[in-house]
Chains A and B, each alone.
Chain A
Amino acid sequence: MLKIGPYSFQSRLFLGTGKYENADVQKEAVRESETEVLTFAVRRMNLFDESQPDPFERMDLSGFRLLPNTAGAKTAEEAVRIAKIAQAADMCDMVKVEVIGCDKTLLPDPVETIKASEILLDEGFTVLPYTSDDVVLARRLQELGVHAIMPGASPIGTGLGIINPYNLSHIIEQAEVPVIVDAGIGSPKDAAHAMELGADGVLLNTAVSGADNPVKMAEAMKYALEAGKLGCEAGRIEKKYYAQASSPVEGLSKL
């Protein structure tokens, strides 16, 4: 059971809702993933264009916890505004603080992320900041009182997997709140890797929505998280430099 603030989850997979080919594929992928948390973004309405689809019109959101992100914000002030808009629409159970500080890498701005988290905590939000894999920054966020820490595996949308497992391990080891690895996951291997390192969950979007078969990939991710979690609990063997036979070396029958 994963606990974040006042919420409990069976599934440890948080699924983004961006960039699906169509609403039917999205709905199926969400179902197969068995996720309980959906993320989304806040944007200006494209007025006077009735053809604009509503990504949620075919989804029954009642069974999900909603995690709006503050994507698009470059300052703490902008992030706080987006969080409040989501709250005003009753579409906010938790908020993913995402303040981007670099257009090329989409890496988060640590200073603005801390500021935004502090303000939103004061306002009573359940706060999940998206952060780089910086060990000290993760600790500082935890000291503020955030409800979970969401370090990136690698930059958003790259699918490069976990670039720095060393940093991520230290973040996980010191964390007293759940660690949800967010961004950069490319394949089930990466999701399993995050869980084997001891993460409490994984947030991904493009890895599923951009797969050749998003529905199948959503199912694969579900199993990857379960496998990684079980593997972590089971305790892996140590890595050795030299081979060690699995079969007995004594009692060999001689020709």
Chain B
Amino acid sequence: MTLTINGAQKEIPEETETINMLLNHLQLGNKKAVVERNGVILKKEQYDEEPVQPGDTLEIVHFVGGG
């Protein structure tokens, strides 16, 4: 399926059903990432249940050095 992740179109395997599975697919499973799906910020506890569907727009952000 096609998702928009951080502004770019990405092809993701059809069997990716949840946010957690998506993060694992992107090899981000163990990083401190925050996911926003279609403009809604998701809580970590929701990653296991929240679905990923074709056409979703996802923002995956993290923390970087800054002042």
Contacts and interface: CB of A to CB of B under 8 A. Distances in A.
Interface of A: 16-20, 26, 39-45, 47-48, 50, 54-56, 68-69, 71, 81, 84-86, 88-91, 156, 183, 203-206
A56 B63 contact: yes
Interface string B32-67: 111010000111100000000000000111111111
Nearest to A56: B63
11 contacts: A16-B67, A40-B64, A42-B61, A42-B64, A43-B63, A45-B28, A45-B61, A50-B27, A88-B34, A89-B32, A204-B67
Contacts of B6: 44-45, 47
A93 to B, nearest CB: 13
Nearest to A91: B63
Contacts of A54: 31-32, 62
A206 B34 contact: no
Contacts of A17: 65-67
Given A18-B66, A39-B66, A91-B32, A44 B61 contact: yes
